[in-house]
Amino acid sequence: MSGLVIRNFHAGYPKRQIISDLNVGPLPRGKITVLLGPNGCGKSTLMRSLAGLNKAQGQLELDGEDLMALPFAKRAEKVVYLPQSLPAGVHLHVLESIIVAQRASGGHANASHEQEVMNLLDQLGISHLAMSYLDQLSGGQKQLVGLAQSLIRRPELLLLDEPLSALDLNYQFHVMDLVARETRKRNMITVVVVHDINIALRHGEHVLMLKNGNLVASGEPATVITAESLAEVYGVKGRIERCSRGTPQVVIDGLTTSLEV
């Protein structure tokens, strides 16, 4: 079976289970799956667990292959996880850091590979930062470099945890457009965590919605993102309206419940 299948999946921490008996799939190749849910619902825990960075139990199959049975190094060749922020204090040039990421996936630095890196930086609009140091970049610039490091490794499963959080509107659209193109071109499975539901409606082709570590809905955005699911998951009164160009967007009219943090 092509795609990512998650069965009877449990994940969390030694004294606290976050994800409970999750069953999803197959998540399709060549499409962006958007992971939605309120703060603390388990989105980041799930992403880290899929990458093998958190303890988990259950079945995780990529095109029928059991990822849970693979040694971490082998799993990392197929699965690349980009956290919300890169590690602090790394004193490498941007170009060098991406070449290091390329080598981590079995690539060998040569002139053609360096040109591939520069082409990727150019697509992301940050080729002028190639010789800048990572620890001198802004948060948004670091996120773009992290995306370049992830894409250069050519994963089969790409996990992006809030890759837009430090980006302005221009770069948010630019990045999602690039990720969509690369996902189709490379026939990857891409899972992206976002908080902006309108981004999910515009750029997502499959949506998973979580609440309290449990799956509420899975499917096409128009099927999953409804007034009822917004009320159940986020506690808001919302509507799905179409703009003059026919693009669906969420309008929030108020709260259904008191805010709990």
Beta strands in 14-53, from DSSP E residues, in sequence order: 16-27, 31-36
Q: Give mean pLDDT, residues 51-57.
A: 93
Task: Domain 4-225: give its CATH code.
Answer: 3.40.50.300
Q: Considering only CA atoms, which of 198, 182, 200 is closest in space to residue 190?
A: 182
If residue 220 lies in a helix (H) or strand (E), which one and from where to where? none
Q: Delimit the CATH 3.40.50.300 region(s) of the chain.
A: 4-225
Residue 61 has pLDDT above 90, yes or no: yes
Residue 39 vs residue 90, higher pLDDT: 39
Render pLDDT for 177-191 as a digit per residue (tens, 0 to 9).
Answer: 999 999 999 999 999
Angle between helices 139-152 and 169-186 (to 10 degrees): 0
Q: Are 98 and 117 in contact (CB under 8 A)?
A: yes
Mean pLDDT computed over every residue of the chain: 91
Q: Are 131 and 22 in contact (CB under 8 A)?
A: no
pLDDT of res. 84:
86
Residue 226 has pLDDT above 50, yes or no: yes
Q: Considering only CA atoms, which of 182, 228, 175, 229 is closest in space to residue 202?
A: 175
- Enumerate residues 6+ apart whose C-beta is below 8 A from 245: none
pLDDT of res. 25:
83
Q: Give mean pLDDT, residues 194-217.
A: 95
Q: Give mean pLDDT, residues 16-28.
A: 92
Q: How confident is the model at residue 259 (pLDDT cuts 50, 70, 90)?
A: low
CA distances from 97 to 149, 163, 164 (A): 7, 18, 20
Residue 110 has pLDDT above 60, yes or no: no
CA distances from 65 to 4, 61, 243 (A): 9, 5, 43
Q: Give mean pLDDT, residues 145-153.
A: 94
Residue 126 has pLDDT above 70, yes or no: yes
Q: How confident is the model at residue 90 (pLDDT cuts 50, 70, 90)?
A: confident
In three-state form (DSSP H/G/I as H, E/B as E, the rest C), the secondary structure along 114-151 is HHHHHHHHHHCCCHHHCCCEHHHCCHHHHHHHHHHHHH
